Amino acid sequence: MSEVYTHRERGVATAIFPIYLLLFPIPVVCFVGALATDLAYSASAYLMWLHFSEWLIATGLAFGALAALALLIEFFGSPAIRRGRLGWTHLVLFYAALIVELINALVHTIDGWTAVVPTGMTLSIIGAILALAAAGTLFRVPVTWAARREVMP
Amino acid sequence: MKTPCTALALAACVALAACGSSDQKNFDKSTEYGPSPTLPEPTRGLLPNMEVPKVVGWQGATPTVPQGFRIEALATGLANPRNVYPLPNGDLLVIESKKEAKEPIERPKRPVMAWVEAKAHGGGGGGPSNRILLLRGAAGGKPASQSVLIDHLNAPFGVVLVGDALYVADTDAILRFPFKAGDTRVGGAPVKVVDLPAGPINHHWTKSLTASPDGSKLYVGVGSNSNAMERGLDEEMNRAAIWEVDPSTGAFKVFASGLRNPNGLTFYPGSDVLWAVVNERDELGPNLVPDYLTSVTPGAFYGWPFSYWGQHVDPRVRPQQPERVKAAIPPDYGLSSHVAPLGLAFYTGKSFPAQFGGGAFVGEHGSWNRPELNGYKVVFIRFENGRPVGTPMDFVTGFLKDGQARGRPVGVAVDQAGALIVADDVGNTVWRVTSNSARP
């Protein structure tokens, strides 16, 4: 069945997926980390933790933007990823995480406690769950999507 | 993907901003002045309101003054003139000042804010700054001569002459120069009276300075290192306060505290009551917190950072300190929010109409933290029995035109002839306002 996709997956889309797999974990790690530092701030009111959260969210968004771009190219280039629900689920979860964290970054610009409690931390929880769920979908990626280069002649 | 993401966030911002602006439209502007201004609930959209006018300069135009008054430029082409200080012999000191050091970047927000602030300031003149100029023969309009009295200072702001000593408040120290009215040069190297809190952050850096009427004590304003303690309490040691300094020993004590950024320190004429104008905190909404003019009660705590306008708790500050909030007293007179008062002068001259006698001129540098610009003018507040009354009257305006900044007023002073002098650090000009009925 792999033969069906082979010719259409050469070029950009073929090269971009490994890059995507390299970029995608960075925002996931950053957003989960920001949740941890938000919890630390809410428990201590120690401003260093707030600053950690701000940098983690900003870094997650920067690499997340690159990853999102790579994923978009992948979607344009690869019919396999567009086929079925899994690819779309992954994309929607990941983009939703980025949108939530973008809003979260703005909430975190507040000078002090109310940057985190309650709105910032709520958004950090939602963003981390969405990012982890997006990561979870990758466990179920079919061979025709994730490993298509191996099935090419 | 960036585009849909940004678009969504923008839509959210617009929705929030829309709520904010309708609140602002409903806000009764006549209630934001005086001893008990309206304090709406704190609000903030996703983004802090940031609105700064483009700097265009005066291009030959002049500010507007009320009928019966005249305004002219005493000196132009300056480099960030922030303060003016008339000497008893009619000479005028002009303090050019610029903070050179950059603040550390401890959070992603900081570079964005720095960029906005730089934009609000324009180029700030090309020439060297951080020096004090002496203008001689200025009483007739154009000064006969202009010379550099002191060069290579470190972001100076406050100046006060006590007998044969000229005290200059650099951002990091009070210096004493041998100098008396009539001199054209200082008589030697300065002596450092006392170090003042400065780097590496040095957020509010203008150190306002005055002397007690008998000259025995100096009073210096030391602004906070943050908006609302978001850099930690350690960074605020002896800041957001007015210090009382013994000029002979350099010994100091905190005279009053909880004053976020106190400027324009001036004793009310004929009294021993110290007054100041104070820049209150940002990012609690366009109509909060009002900046204010107040007499300074010795030993008093005015709330910052824990509370504003007396005992209104700022929810952003942790740990909260209820005991200190309980001790906080409200200031005397609200000037409305985000006007950024940096200059204060009581009218002691004779040439203006009688209603001006004993009243206060306040230089309002202008807002950046509200959608509708506020300040950018010099206002006059009438005094009765040594207390401010009524609402402020616009006195020098026209610093904004079509939403663009031609200048921004800072320090104000009344000279020996009874004229009002205004330092304009964006127009890079010193202005002089005289009454048409003025005696020569």
A71 touches chain B (CB under 8 A): yes
- Which whole-number Å values give the CA distances from A29 to A41, A87, A100, B203, B349, in the listed order? 18, 21, 15, 34, 67
Question: Across all residues in chain A, what is the average pLDDT?
Answer: 86
| Residues of chain A found within 8 Å of residue B13, distances taken between Cβ atoms | 106
What is the reported pLDDT for B8? Answer: 43
CA distance to partner chain A, nearest, from residue B281 (Å): 10
Residue A113 and residue B106: Cβ atoms within 8 Å?
no
The letter for the amino acid at B431 is W
| Residues of chain A found within 8 Å of residue B109, distances taken between Cβ atoms | 54, 109
What is the rounded average pLDDT of the residues A147-151?
45
At residue B274's C-alpha, the angle toward residues B268 and B276, to 5°, is: 100
What is the reported pLDDT for B90? Answer: 92
The letter for the amino acid at A146 is A
The total domain count for chain B is 1
Residue B300, domain member (yes or no) = yes
What is the reported pLDDT for A81? Answer: 79
Residue B244, domain member (yes or no) = yes
What is the rounded average pLDDT of the residues B238-255?
98
pLDDT band for B135, please (50, 70, 90 cuts). Answer: very high
What is the reported pLDDT for A145? Answer: 61
Tell me which long-range contacts B98-101 makes (C-beta under 8 A, separation of at least 24): B98/B124, B98/B129, B98/B130, B98/B155, B99/B155, B99/B171, B99/B202, B99/B205, B100/B130, B100/B154, B100/B155, B101/B199, B101/B200, B101/B202
B157, with CB counted inside 10 A (0-12, 13-18, 19+), is: buried
Residue A106 and residue B47: Cβ atoms within 8 Å?
yes
Two tokens, residue B263:
């400027």
Per-residue pLDDT tens over the stretch B369-378? 888 999 999 9
Model confidence at A3: pLDDT above 50:
no
Domain range for B252 is 82-353
**Percent of chain B whose pLDDT exceeds 70:** 92
Per-residue pLDDT tens over the stretch B149-184? 999 999 999 999 999 999 999 999 999 999 999 999
Secondary structure class of B193 (helix, strand, coil): strand
Task: Nearest by CB to B9, from A69, A99, A111: name it.
Answer: A99
Per-residue pLDDT tens over the stretch A49-76? 999 999 999 999 999 999 999 999 988 8
CA distance to partner chain A, nearest, from residue B317 (Å): 6
- The most confident of the ranges A8-12, B96-100, B313-317 is B313-317
What was the ipTM of the complex prediction?
Answer: 0.86
Model confidence at B12: pLDDT above 60:
no
pLDDT band for A144, please (50, 70, 90 cuts). Answer: low
Q: What is the C-alpha to C-alpha distance for residues B158 and B381, in angstroms, rounded to an integer?
A: 22
- The per-residue DSSP string of B381-434 comes to EEEETTEEEEEEEEEEB-SEETTEES--EEEEEE-TTS-EEEEETTTTEEEEEE
Query: Cβ neighbours of residue B391 under 8 Å, at least 6 residues apart?
Result: B30, B33, B34
Kindly identify which residue of chain B lies nearest to residue A112, measuring between CA atoms. Answer: B316
What is the rounded average pLDDT of the residues A29-47?
97
What is the rounded average pLDDT of the residues A18-40?
96
Residue B94, domain member (yes or no) = yes
pLDDT band for B124, please (50, 70, 90 cuts). Answer: low
Q: Taking CB atoms and an 8 Å cut-off, how many pairs form between chains A and B? A: 70
Secondary structure class of A114 (helix, strand, coil): helix
What is the reported pLDDT for B182? Answer: 94
Model confidence at A149: pLDDT above 50:
no
pLDDT band for B51, please (50, 70, 90 cuts). Answer: confident
Q: What is the C-alpha to C-alpha distance for residues A78 and B128, in angstroms, rounded to an integer?
A: 61
pLDDT band for B36, please (50, 70, 90 cuts). Answer: very high
What is the reported pLDDT for B122? Answer: 67
pLDDT band for B126, please (50, 70, 90 cuts). Answer: low
What is the reported pLDDT for A46? Answer: 95
- Pairing state between β B54-55 and B404-405: parallel
Residue B369, domain member (yes or no) = no
What is the reported pLDDT for A150? Answer: 40
What is the reported pLDDT for B356? Answer: 97
Residue B329, domain member (yes or no) = yes
Name the residue ranges covered by the structural domains of chain A: 3-151
At residue A72's C-alpha, the angle toward residues A70 and A73, to 5°, is: 65
Beta carbons of A63 and A30 less than 8 angstroms apart: yes
Model confidence at A36: pLDDT above 90:
yes
pLDDT band for B25, please (50, 70, 90 cuts). Answer: low
CATH number for the domain including B131?
2.120.10
Residue B59, domain member (yes or no) = no
What is the reported pLDDT for B6? Answer: 41
Question: Across all residues in chain B, what is the average pLDDT?
Answer: 91
Residue B274, domain member (yes or no) = yes
Two tokens, residue B386:
């040594």
Per-residue pLDDT tens over the stretch B251-261? 999 999 999 99
Model confidence at B37: pLDDT above 70:
yes
What is the reported pLDDT for B4? Answer: 41
Please state whether B213 falls in left (phi above 0), alpha (psi between -120 and 50) or beta: alpha
Beta carbons of B269 and B348 less than 8 angstroms apart: yes
Residue A109 and residue B317: Cβ atoms within 8 Å?
no
Strands of B252-257's sheet in order across: B209-211, B218-222, B241-245, B252-257
What is the reported pLDDT for B125? Answer: 59
What is the rounded average pLDDT of the residues B412-416?
96
